[in-house]
Amino acid sequence: MSRAIALIDGNSFYCSCERVFDPKLAGVPVIVLSNNDGCAIARTAEAKALGIRMGEPYFKIRQLCRSKGVRVFSSNYALYGDMSARANTVYRQFAPDVEIYSIDESFLDLSDVRERDRLALARDLRSTVRQWTGLPTCVGIGPTKTLAKLANHIAKTVPELGGVCDLSNEAERAAWMVGISVGEVWGIGRASRARLEAMGVDTVADLRDLDPRPARASLTVVGERIIHELRGRACLPLEIVPARRKGCAVTRSFSSRIIERTVLEQAVAAHATRLGEKLRRDGLAVSAVTVFYHTSEHDRGDPMRSVSTVVHLPEATNDSRHLIQAALHGVAKTWKEQGPTPWRYSKAGLVTTDLVPLDEAPRPLFDALDREKSGALMAAMDACNSRFGRGAVVPARAGLMEKRTWSTKFEMRSPRFTTRLAEVPAVSAIM
């Protein structure tokens, strides 16, 4: 049986999640904004038709949104994450081997399904997901991940296909490739596209016909793999068990510029607390943390400053208290007293790259941390926050949630319909 991979993804995923809980949003333009209500990061077809581009700053389109009746939402990751998990449980009923690629995309292994049955299965999958979760999706099928991605692109852009496209057949594949721009290929971004077009490579078919080995010179080994994948030779395996993550970052823009050291300290302490939560969830630990903070590139004319410093910990840890200490130390050794024209900082964050499983991390011979105590305390804190909501219990240095004046804005956020009991939608019926 030939290899077959399906890529299923949610259409305008974040917007669709909002629509599930408000039928009035059907047929009207909807957008969802990035953190801090900064940019448009999800748009329905109606919003795209109004010319709203991906990543467009909200302040530039606010008037347009108002005059055209665009419904605008802040990001609601609790909702989107939960809806994503629900969709994946449906996918698994159709194909047990699923790679969750992103919050709105999954690869499914359909190799055991006969070629002539694949389209029917894809249609069934789509309508089941729609019925059980309310989410609209598209499905692309191909012998490699890159071709499944391409098929998904076709399913999304050619309405007559009804949201599904199977590129298992080589001749059909070739016919489509002639008409699609090379920039649509997964892994070909702006820079590679420009380089390819300069070489006279304009369509997907042109790219497929390049000699893979020499193409390495301009596209690196990544490009070489893409060409093989377009020819139907798989280079990218399906990753059903997620690989261990290599880095972890918590970075946020402030809701407004900050000048005071104490505020910056509270922010990095809060980021450190969040970092600890993420690390503990995965059983990982770090022995060094990069602390950074900087002014904004958009504040032209203001004094600029960008700080980044590495703080080493005595031993690998995921205890929030140790991470907070490290973060504060990072500020202490880089802070410069403010003068008459102060630096107005716009963003701060913590980045780590040397993740190790806590139970594999080496211990110091002397003065080792008491991991039992630390683990019990952190587990108790995590349990409280999981039961009563994030921020129910926080280290004092991180500040109470409602007192964090610097923290990210979400002024148009919908309720957490599916993950907070107090926010479950109420339904009334008239008999």
- With contacts defined by CB under 7 A, name the span among 17-25, 55-63, 121-129, 420-428 that binds DNA: 55-63
Rg (alpha carbons) of the chain, rounded to whole number: 25
- Which of residues 186, 292, 406, 417 is near DNA by CB under 7 A? 186
Round to whole Å and give the CA distance between 141 and 119: 8
Q: Which amino acid is at 41?
A: I
Residue 296 makes contact with DNA by CB under 7 A: yes
Judged by CB under 7 A, how many residues of this single chain contact DNA? 50
Q: 137-142 and 71-73: which strand pairing?
A: unpaired
- Which of residues 3, 28, 57, 202 is near DNA by CB under 7 A? 57
- Which of residues 252, 261, 329, 390 is near DNA by CB under 7 A? 252
Residue 43 makes contact with DNA by CB under 7 A: no
Residue 162 makes contact with DNA by CB under 7 A: no
- With contacts defined by CB under 7 A, name the span among 107-115, 167-175, 199-207, 217-225 that binds DNA: 217-225
Cβ atoms 347, 294 nearer than 8 A? yes
- Report the site for DNA in 298-337 (rule: CB under 7 A): 298-299
Q: With respect to DNA, which residue has the nearer C-beta, 185 or 289?
A: 185
Tokens 């893409």 belong to residue: 226
Q: For 178-260, where are the alpha helices, taking DSSP H only?
A: 190-198, 204-208, 212-230
- 87-92: long-range pairs with CB below 8 Å, 24+: 87/10, 87/129, 87/133, 87/135, 87/137, 90/125, 90/128, 90/129, 90/132, 90/133, 91/8, 91/125, 91/129
Kindly state the smallest distance separating residue 215's Cβ from DNA, in Å: 11
Q: With respect to DNA, which residue has the nearer C-beta, 135 or 250?
A: 250
Burial of 70-98, coded b for 16+ CB within 10 Å and e otherwise, reads bbbbbbbebbbebbbeebbebbeebbeeb
- Which of residues 39, 108, 139, 151 is near DNA by CB under 7 A? 39
- Report the site for DNA in 91-110 (rule: CB under 7 A): 101-105
Tokens 């001749």 belong to residue: 171
Residue 11 makes contact with DNA by CB under 7 A: no
Residue ranges binding DNA (CB under 7 A) = 34-36, 38-39, 41, 55, 57-59, 62, 101-105, 149, 185-193, 216, 220-222, 243, 245-253, 256-257, 278, 296, 298-299, 346-347, 349, 408
